[in-house]
Amino acid sequence: MKVLLYPHSMEVGGSQINALQLAGAVRDRGHEVIVASEPGPLMERVRNLALEHVELPLHRSRPSPRVSGILGDLVKRRGIDVIHGHEWPPIVEAFFGATLRHRTPVVGTIMSMSVVPFLPRGTHLTVGTELIRRSAVASGYRSVYLLEPPVDTGADNPSIDGRIFRARLGIRPDEVVIAMICRLVPDLKLEGLLTACDAVRALARAGNPMRLVIVGDGRARDDVARRAASANADAGYEAVLLAGEMADPGPAYAAADIIVGQGGSALRGMAFGKPLVVVGESGFSELLTPESAPMFLRQGWYGLGAGSLGTGAPALHRALERLVGSPEIRSQLGSFGRQLVQSRFSLGRAAEIVEGIYVSAIQTPVAARQLIPEALHVAAGVAGNRIRRRYLKWTGAGATDDQNQRQVIAAVFDTGSNGATPVGKPEQQVAHPSA
């Protein structure tokens, strides 16, 4: 197969890194893979993977008719069999440029916490949790597959030495390092970042020799920096360090004793054999243990509302206090997480699943009579989304990174219970085509 892979950006982030890792793994299974993207920090990964790259314009609207034209021309010229778009703007651009013009199938991956309502209904979609898959099926999407965030457990492993990273930041060998590695953005991330600063403030004032290291950058950096400065003033030393963005944050994972995070970052920390505290929104934080693992396998590495230890900074403080004070517990839970990610989230398994989805998409193209109705449905949805975002900007309410995400999250999580349950009648499981 000839596959054109289109990440939604080349900034450092979980969805983009997953996309490039999958591209390399699919190529290693004997397929030709081309990456189409704007320039950005992750270009180094494309070069290291020895993947062919087609550059897209950096400054453009989202979605972009110009990019749709580029994709359509590339499909025709190179004989592309399938386009794999990651997140909704690439999926829409690929549909108009490739499916509508040449009937080339599009596979879409949504790693955010919602599926927008205006994607083509016939697109083969992958989502990161079973709850989101059920919600998407209930919303009318016909081919939705569970593809949990893959992890390269060979490259990310407990044997990697993090001492150089610690030394560069001036961290003593006896200090426990808590690491958060994520984009510093308001949606989904900021609450957890600020809560971690507050929890570490209390731990540091109690005399625990520890540091919180935050790796990443984004438009909420100033908010995080202010909370970190306040925590450091109370602690009397630099208990919270902002390390900035890293194209490959592997050394930060290796240097950590504890990982606090969600989504792909949580899984990558597990691959390094680190104990994990999962954070979400509305005060959610929960330590990964054999008892809590089934909840995360059901709902994904995220949560809303109260966990078993309560909500907010006090709950995160309790979870971290247990880990900071016990090297034995850190070792036990780190080993548990490593075993879990090896058995269920390996990159090789994900590549096999994606290969099967590509075959299914190629064998079941969108019927010609459906193309115009699909195009009208998508165009109307994109126009409505654009008007909505402009209105929110005009009113000062702001717009989330993932349109419709909070409504969908509320629909698939029962925030009144410890853990999540699907709302409404469960849909029939859609089997992986490779099964």
For the segment 24-62, what is each residue's pLDDT rounded down to a tens digit? 999 999 999 999 999 999 999 999 999 999 999 998 888
179 shares a domain with 65: no
Residue 47 placed within a domain: yes
Read off the pTM: 0.75
pLDDT band at 401 (very low <50, low <70, confident <90, very high): very low
d(CA 260, CA 320): 9
For the segment 344-379, what is each residue's pLDDT rounded down to a tens digit? 898 988 999 999 999 999 999 888 888 999 999 999
Q: Is residue 26 classed as helix, strand or coil in its secondary structure?
A: helix
pLDDT number for residue 15: 79
Pairing verdict, β 285-287 and 276-279: antiparallel
Burial class (CB in 10 A: 0-12, 13-18, 19+), 307: buried
The 8 Å CB, 24+ separation contacts for 378-382 are 378/92, 378/95, 378/96, 378/118, 378/119, 378/120, 380/118, 381/116, 381/117, 381/118, 381/119, 382/63, 382/92, 382/118
d(CA 243, CA 278): 21
359 shares a domain with 311: no
283 shares a domain with 389: no
pLDDT number for residue 114: 78
327 shares a domain with 246: yes
331 shares a domain with 382: no
Q: What average pLDDT does range 334-346 have in this prediction?
A: 94
Percent of the chain residues past pLDDT 70, beyond the cut:
90
Percent of the chain residues past pLDDT 90, beyond the cut:
71
Domain boundary among 341, 370, 403: 341
Residue 118 placed within a domain: yes
For the segment 107-148, what is each residue's pLDDT rounded down to a tens digit? 999 987 779 999 999 899 999 888 889 999 999 998 999 998
Domain boundary among 314, 341, 368: 341
Q: What average pLDDT does range 406-432 have in this prediction?
A: 39
Q: How many domains does the chain have?
A: 2
Question: Is residue 418 predicted with pLDDT exceeding 60?
Answer: no
143 shares a domain with 248: no
Question: Is residue 299 predicted with pLDDT exceeding 70?
Answer: yes
Calculate helix-pair angle for 263-271, 327-344, nearest 10 degrees. Answer: 110
Domain boundary among 341, 370, 392: 341
pLDDT band at 413 (very low <50, low <70, confident <90, very high): low
Mean pLDDT for all residues in the chain: 88
172 shares a domain with 120: no
The 8 Å CB, 24+ separation contacts for 229-234 are 230/197, 230/201, 231/197, 231/198, 231/200, 231/201, 231/204, 234/201, 234/204, 234/205
402 shares a domain with 298: no
Residue 425 placed within a domain: no
204 shares a domain with 133: no
Residues 6+ apart with CB under 8 A from 388: 399, 403
- Identify the CATH number of the domain in which residue 213 sits: 3.40.50.2000
Question: Is residue 414 predicted with pLDDT exceeding 80?
Answer: no
Residue 304 placed within a domain: yes
Quickly list DSSP for 61-111: -SS-HHHHHHHHHHHHHHT-SEEEEESHHHHHHHIIIIIHHH---EEEEE-
Q: What values do phi and psi take at 46, rounded to 5?
A: -60, -45
pLDDT band at 415 (very low <50, low <70, confident <90, very high): very low
d(CA 112, CA 51): 25
Least confident of 71-75, 292-296, 375-379, 422-426: 422-426
- What is the span of the domain harbouring residue 330? 163-341
